[in-house]
Structure 1
């Protein structure tokens, strides 16, 4: 029997492309997903993607092909499933049909089959089995193929009329009562987000709050809690801010070439200094872009050719956020000074961080600069990103349990998978930051990014440190 090694268990994190594509569509509220494959693939993808509030029990379907379908094809079962969707009280805005590995191999022509259905909405088809890539590859391909279906040209022509500072465009959907076209001086899209990432919704709410503080509106959070019609409004933002490059770097490049939409990929805002740096990069990119285009919204933000004046304007815009950060630092000092006097600063012999690459990059900076000290840091990324040669990667098949063998007390920031594989006789403090997550209930809003996220992470780390001293 195989040993209890990380490599033997990595299938729980290396989910297939079918699950990744489904995760993309799961964030579009009027999208339906059809898995054309065996029930094992369907239920596995459902387990990976389903989250509270997504209603995937009704929106994620399976064709349940017969045993003979692996030889004769799945046309009958697939058309029957699509016919069921035509009977819904409200028509779908999008249907994603994806083949599992087996039916990708037999060569079912999905595009031809779905063209025979009576559905009037866009139908996106994919051969998305695990043989074609992992979760992140499936997400990227599905999102890019989806955007290629959207007619951005007509929206751009019809979205010029402004009334009371709002862009009026009947083709742009308005989900959950939010007016997505409210126009402030600057607007951005947040792209490369997934409703299936751990803690993503709370983190995105905090990022949107931070941007509002510095006078930036979020036009659209791509593939997160909006309907299909909202995609037509994507082109009306001034800048695309990539949250998780492992999900949408290629999409950002495509939008740059197709719609001339600039983008940036700042390191995620974990910690107070990381938050300020993140906001600074976005404001700088927006103001430089506006200066280059000669389209500043008001005279107070007019940029000169002087770099000093440029930076001064940026600092003025960031001042409300800077003041909040200084206030948070003072608050944290007052609340921790007594425990610091008794216990010193948080310290662990070894710290292991295991998560998607964008999360690891942001956490690394906050851990090193703000959150704690440790004898050894080890970083493991779940995806195949090559963002840092010092990171371990699941796809390389390393055995990372050795990273937690240093010293008597360690800290693990990762998923339930890593937690279960820790050596039992070692004292390992643990906090979930990535999927798969353990059985837990989180009722309060609890971001990890931004100012509020820094507060939560400091509280978590301090309490884990104190607990480690008590158990030591």
Structure 2
């Protein structure tokens, strides 16, 4: 395989683990060999740390293997023949002494073939925490499917709390975001800020930096607003079917760029489920967008006057279709840049694939669709750290902007985002500086 690492993407097991690791005061147990836990523990701890030390000597406990998260039962050949019950019982005895709101036990693919009664074992051992078990990790299914399946299992297991009286009419749930998203904390902060500007309040974010009590109160919201559809559409459909909750799905991908941000929030405000809609307004949002456009105009104008850029600059994007459509729309329509290569991950559900292709056909740019990102030799590349590193190793001249994991390791002290108003300004900043290569 020519570009082997390009095709290594997280699978359903990773989706399950990272969905549940996004819940505060939770422990996710992998019933499987040690090889299944190291990556998941390392990523969970780096993306959503719960402790201040990475020193492995601080985590000598059995089952943790010098990592602070995602304990496992370290199954071996004997356990695959005689069962994992003994090791799982020992681990659960240890876990029950901790102060955890949620204990989740997830079989690795191999352990799913053993047939142990995970729920029965857990019921005898865990007395102080809510417990869910996932016996089938999805095998070869993709990250997005595993993420949403895990959250649906969790929602089905919880005593969800409806509003004690009439709903407030201004509460929304943000559905479809993961600690595996590159800028998840900044995404949440920006979305909350813009919702508040429109007179709306976020009731629950499912599922990143979320408490179990917040999840239980999901039915109290008036509307489920989907952010990343790949991570939230099936969950929203389940909540609609099970609880009659309406949801909002933006038909143009993500709120990236000034125009899409305005359209996204105006679409939310038009939803009939928001009571007293006349009291909500997009005017503060539009005023903030106008100021942001003015702030962005000066540096863009200065760069253009000196170099003629960014107009005509070629770009490549490798991302799920919701992000692919939004990035392409912003870079092409707002900055006048030209798409040279637009690629979906191999396991992407392609929810906006047709719209991306329609945009390209409208402007006779079909050659960019699924063009080899390594052959396109674009000036700007928006992708994951692995692809950017491979392009650097080929000594290509370009500027890379990370928008997906895996990362090259840049540490974000200040939460960042590419969503909304602040995200649009950050993206303009990164693109203009990237043209100075």
Query: Under TM normalisation by the shorter chain, which class is it?
Result: 0.7 to 0.9
User: 1:389, CA displacement in angstroms?
Assistant: 4.1
Offset of 1:151 from its aligned partner?
1.6
CA-based RMSD: 2.5
Partner of 2:85: 75
The answer for the alignment partner of 1:419 in structure 2 is 388
2 CA distance for matches of 1:281 and 1:383?
29
Once the two structures are superposed, the pairs formed by residues 115-134 of structure 1 within 5 Å of their partners are 115-129=123-137, 131-134=139-142
Residue equivalent to 2:204:
220
**Equivalent pair of 1:198/1:435 in contact (CA under 8 Å):** yes
Aligned partners of 1:128 and 1:194: how far apart in 2? Answer: 21
Question: Aligned pair in 2 of structure 1 residues 415, 332: CA closer, same or farther (>3 Å)?
Answer: same
Shift of 1:42: 0.8
**Which residue pairs with 1:12 in the alignment?**
8
Are positions 1:156 and 2:125 aligned together?
no
- 1:230-272 Cα offsets, whole Å, 9 max, x none, are 2221111110001111112111011111111100111211111
Cα 1:389–1:269 change in 2 (3 A) is closer
- 1:271 matched to 2:279? The reply is no
Secondary structure of 1:145 counterpart:
helix
Alpha-carbon distance between aligned partners in 1 of 2:429 and 2:159, rounded to the nearest angstrom: 47
C-alpha change, 1:445 and 1:48, in structure 2 (3 Å) is closer
Q: TM-score, normalised by structure 2?
A: 0.86
Structure 1 regions of 5+ residues with no counterpart? Answer: 162-166, 168-182, 302-313, 393-398, 468-472
Check 1:122–1:445 CA distance in 2 against 1; reply closer, same or farther (3 A cut). closer
Match of 2:18 in 1: 23
Separation in structure 2 between the aligned mates of residue 429 and residue 238 of structure 1, nearest angstrom:
43
More displaced stretch, 330-339 vs 51-60: 51-60
- Structure 2 match to 1:311: none
Q: Deviation at 1:445?
A: 2.9
- What TM-score comes out, normalization by structure 1 length? 0.80
**Matched positions, count:** 407
Q: Does 1:353 align with 2:317?
A: yes
Report if the CA contact (8 A) 2:73-2:87 is conserved: yes
Distance 1:118 1:376, change over 3 A: closer
| Contact preservation (8 Å) 2:96, 2:129 | no
Deviations 1:49-74 (A, max 9, x none): 33344338544211122431011110
Gaps of 5+ in 2: 52-66, 358-368
Supply the distance in 1 between the matched residues of 2:339 and 2:159 (Cα, whole angstroms).
Answer: 54
The answer as to 2:425 corresponding to 1:461 is no
Q: Does 1:62 align with 2:91?
A: no
1:148 to 1:27, Cα distance in 2 relative to 1, 3 A: same
Q: Distance in 2 between the 1:442 and 1:382 partners?
A: 28
CA displacement, residues 279-333 of structure 1 (integer Å, 9 cap, x when unaligned): 1110111xx334xxxx538xx64xxxxxxxxxxxx7xx11111111111112222
